[in-house]
């Protein structure tokens, strides 16, 4: 219980759901309708963001009651049906648990404001500064609470035993009553910093009830203390204390962009940066560390928006070929490009996920997941870099388990290259008299190489391309993927609205080649302007806008996109 984790965790492929944007209103019944498609995608673990009663709605971290469902998501009966349906498709369920703070509108916080030091709950909230890790991020609310980044989320005082017991009871409640399979513990980096012993109590408490429960910390996998009898896995964050949630693949903070290794201006630095990211700057990891890997989540920019098709596919293949636990964020499988803090819905109950996949990313992720599920070496922690030449933007590594050997090569440059990969033949059993085959498990292409020549192999890599090779003494049969649909960020395009006809809402998608002012207006059939949907600066890439025609009569309407003296018009039908 103190150290071990269940075997299923090694094979977990997590799909994160933000209910309120996944479908309108975050209705669990509508989310249930998507489970069969998510099973086809291949994910096996569904992680729901907070489902507890909240003050402001949205992503749901300003909690009013830790023991009650938020009504816009549904009832406890709906939650039970969600869990039952997911398990029928072989999936496990994780909930988001929020032990670090409450809403400032929580009755305990309000009581402490009203009665001050006479309130029983006054000491439920931290009010005194200290020198704990991350203390440079403390802020003081006018009411005396300390908080980190959000003024309406006062932090709990974990020196108070009653707070510790309260949060343990809340965590036990959903496990005992709904038999969930795991928790993602929100912002536990702050709790660990203020009182690292509480996480150990949490682990002992929950694992004594269900030993196979998965405890995922929203904390740094780069900090050894994260795995000190506390958590099974943690986020792929850098060790920097000044930037709490720095993704190791991200090199700069920019709230309107996504500066990663893969779009770093100097291509010649990318391999070095990736090496540093994968090795914690050569400092390594705790022996029990398990890393949650991702391209995006509920706090980050959509990856596709700032990287485009080729780099998204390249990074996705890297993600699913690495050690650790891969996680997808809802909409990632279709290249959804709206920031997770927005209120735009990603899916609708009546439209399939694949019907929205204009970029053919769904089958690509499906293939990556199938490869990971098929080859046990990819779910192991066995990883070592292999030498590459050239090596400025090219990187390679070896994954293995028993007699299974997989080699992954990535070209992060914007031009194709023929690379020399040095395979570790001294570490694997090779018959120099036999012919071996390196089969690209995504394309089906293969190289036949005499065993005596395997130590140095010449392999072609397209621009922004990851290849995953299985080494075997026979050729692997691979089903070809659908032809790539390249959606270039260098185009100016306006898509047909969906759905069409509609009543009363529809989504309009468009793309622009460069940053600039974009105007999107609605006109009636007589050419009279009805509404300005958008008139603002937009970054290059794909965008979506929702149009609500509730106040309009049935009929044909025209929507016009204007950008840099260019315009495109399309018709749509409102049918009430």
- The pLDDT tens digits of the residues spanning 281-338 come to 999 999 999 999 999 999 999 999 999 999 999 999 999 999 999 999 999 999 999 9
* Mean pLDDT, residues 431-453: 95
Residue 487 has pLDDT above 70, yes or no: no
% residues pLDDT > 90 (the chain): 83
Helix 161-178 vs helix 76-88: crossing angle, to nearest 10? 60
Amino acid 25: pLDDT? 83
Q: Domain 379-472 carries which CATH code?
A: 2.60.40.1180
Q: Are 178 and 80 in contact (CB under 8 A)?
A: yes
Mean pLDDT of the chain: 94
* Mean pLDDT, residues 14-25: 94
Q: Are 122 and 110 in contact (CB under 8 A)?
A: no
Residue 484 has pLDDT above 60, yes or no: no
* Mean pLDDT, residues 180-206: 98
Amino acid 482: pLDDT? 62
* Mean pLDDT, residues 566-575: 90
Fold of the CATH domain 493-574 = Immunoglobulin-like (2.60.40)
* Mean pLDDT, residues 61-69: 98
Q: Output the six-digit token pair for 21.
A: 């944007």
292-308 per-residue burial string, b: 16 or more CB within 10 A, e: under 16:
bbbbbbbebbbbbbbbb
Amino acid 485: pLDDT? 46
Q: Give the separation between CA 266 and CA 398, rounded to whole angstroms.
A: 26
Nearest partner of 544 among 307, 335, 295, judged by Cα? 335
* Mean pLDDT, residues 4-12: 96
Amino acid 344: pLDDT? 86
* Mean pLDDT, residues 5-31: 95
Amino acid 543: pLDDT? 83
Q: Which CATH number fits domain 102-155: 2.60.40, 3.90.400, 3.40.50, 3.30.70?
A: 3.90.400
Residue 444 has pLDDT above 60, yes or no: yes
pLDDT in tens, 212-268: 999 999 999 999 999 999 999 999 999 999 999 999 999 998 878 899 999 999 999
Between residues 256 and 379, which one has the greater pLDDT? 379
State how far the alpha carbon of 125 is from the alpha carbons of 183, 266, 571, in Å: 23, 47, 55
Q: Give the separation between CA 260 and CA 249, rounded to whole angstroms.
A: 6
Amino acid 481: pLDDT? 67
Amino acid 531: pLDDT? 93
Between residues 25 and 82, which one has the greater pLDDT? 82
Amino acid 483: pLDDT? 54
Amino acid 309: pLDDT? 95
155-178 per-residue burial string, b: 16 or more CB within 10 A, e: under 16:
bbbbebeebbebbbebbeebbeee
Q: Output the six-digit token pair for 435.
A: 């012919």
Nearest partner of 145 among 125, 116, 124, 118, judged by Cα? 125
CATH 2.60.40.1930 domain position(s) in the chain: 493-574
CATH 3.90.400 domain position(s) in the chain: 102-155
Residue 516 has pLDDT above 60, yes or no: yes
CATH 3.20.20.80 domain position(s) in the chain: 7-100+161-242+286-374
Q: Give the separation between CA 97 and CA 50, rounded to whole angstroms.
A: 7
How many residues are given for the chain? Answer: 576
Q: Output the six-digit token pair for 561.
A: 């996109």
> By three-state DSSP, how is residue 269 classified?
helix
CATH 2.60.40.1180 domain position(s) in the chain: 379-472
Residue 488 has pLDDT above 70, yes or no: no
Give the pairing of strands 404-411 and 394-401.
antiparallel
Q: Output the six-digit token pair for 155.
A: 């932090």
Amino acid 384: pLDDT? 98
pTM, 2 dp: 0.84
Amino acid 513: pLDDT? 82
Amino acid 167: pLDDT? 99
Q: How many helices (H) and strands (E) does the chain have?
A: 12, 28
Amino acid 1: pLDDT? 78
> Quick one: how far is CA 10 from the chain centroid?
18
Amino acid 541: pLDDT? 73
* Mean pLDDT, residues 43-47: 99
Amino acid 480: pLDDT? 66
Tell which CATH architecture fits domain 7-100+161-242+286-374.
Answer: Alpha-Beta Barrel (3.20)
Lowest mean pLDDT among 42-56, 112-126, 334-348: 334-348
């Amino acid at each position: 219980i103190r150290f071990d984790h269940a075997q299923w965790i090694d094979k977990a492929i997590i799909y994160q759901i933000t209910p309120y944007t996944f479908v309108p209103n975050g209705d669990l019944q509508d989310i249930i309708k998507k489970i069969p498609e998510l099973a086809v995608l291949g994910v096996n673990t569904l992680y729901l963001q907070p489902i507890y009663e909240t003050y402001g709605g949205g992503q749901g971290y300003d909690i009013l009651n830790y023991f009650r469902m938020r009504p816009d998501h549904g009832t406890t009966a709906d939650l039970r049906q969600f869990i039952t349906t997911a398990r029928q498709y072989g999936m496990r369920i994780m909930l988001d648990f929020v032990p670090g703070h409450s809403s400032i509108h929580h009755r305990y916080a309000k009581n402490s404001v009203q009665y001050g030091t006479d309130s029983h709950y006054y000491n439920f909230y931290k009010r005194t500064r200290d020198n704990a890790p991350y203390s440079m991020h403390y802020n003081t609310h006018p009411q005396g609470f300390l908080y980190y980044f959000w003024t309406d989320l006062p932090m709990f005082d974990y020196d108070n035993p009653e707070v510790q017991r309260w949060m343990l009871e809340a965590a036990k409640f959903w496990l005992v009553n709904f038999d969930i399979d795991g928790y993602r513990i929100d912002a536990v980096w702050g709790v660990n910093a203020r009182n690292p012993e509480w996480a150990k109590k949490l682990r002992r408490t929950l694992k004594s009830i269900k030993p196979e429960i998965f405890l995922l910390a929203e904390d740094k996998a780069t900090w050894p203390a994260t795995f000190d009898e506390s958590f099974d896995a943690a986020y792929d964050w850098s060790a920097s204390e000044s930037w709490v949630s720095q993704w190791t693949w991200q090199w700069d903070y920019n709230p309107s962009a996504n500066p990663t290794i893969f779009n770093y201006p100097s291509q010649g630095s990318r391999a070095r940066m990736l090496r540093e990211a994968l090795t914690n700057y050569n400092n390594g990891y705790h022996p029990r560390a398990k890393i949650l890997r991702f391209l995006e989540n509920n706090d980050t920019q959509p990856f596709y928006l700032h990287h485009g098709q080729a780099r998204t596919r390249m990074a996705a293949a890297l993600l699913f070929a690495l050690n650790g636990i891969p996680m997808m964020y809802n909409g990632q499988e279709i290249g959804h490009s709206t920031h997770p803090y927005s209120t735009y819905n990603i899916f609708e109950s009546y439209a399939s996920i694949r019907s929205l996949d204009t970029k053919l990313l769904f089958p690509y992720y499906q293939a990556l997941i199938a490869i990971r599920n098929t080859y046990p070496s990819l779910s192991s922690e066995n990883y070592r870099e292999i030498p590459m030449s050239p090596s400025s933007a090219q990187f390679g590594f070896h994954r293995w388990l028993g007699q299974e050997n997989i080699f992954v090569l990535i070209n992060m440059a914007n031009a194709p290259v023929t690379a020399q990969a040095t395979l570790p033949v001294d570490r694997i059993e090779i018959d120099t008299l036999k012919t071996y085959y390196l089969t690209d498990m995504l394309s089906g292409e293969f190289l036949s190489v005499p065993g005596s020549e395997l130590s140095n192999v010449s392999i072609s890599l397209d621009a922004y391309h990851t290849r995953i090779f299985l080494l075997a003494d026979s050729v692997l049969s691979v089903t070809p993927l659908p032809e790539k649909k390249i959606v270039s960020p260098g185009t100016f395009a306006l898509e047909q609205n969906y759905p069409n006809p509609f009543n009363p809402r529809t989504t309009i998608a468009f793309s622009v080649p460069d940053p600039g002012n974009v105007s999107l207006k609605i006109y009636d059939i007589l050419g009279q302007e009805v509404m300005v949907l958008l008139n603002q600066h937009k970054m290059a890439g794909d965008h979506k806008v929702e149009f609500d025609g509730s106040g309009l009569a049935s009929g044909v309407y025209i929507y016009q996109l204007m950008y840099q003296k260019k315009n495109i018009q399309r018709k749509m039908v409102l049918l009430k």
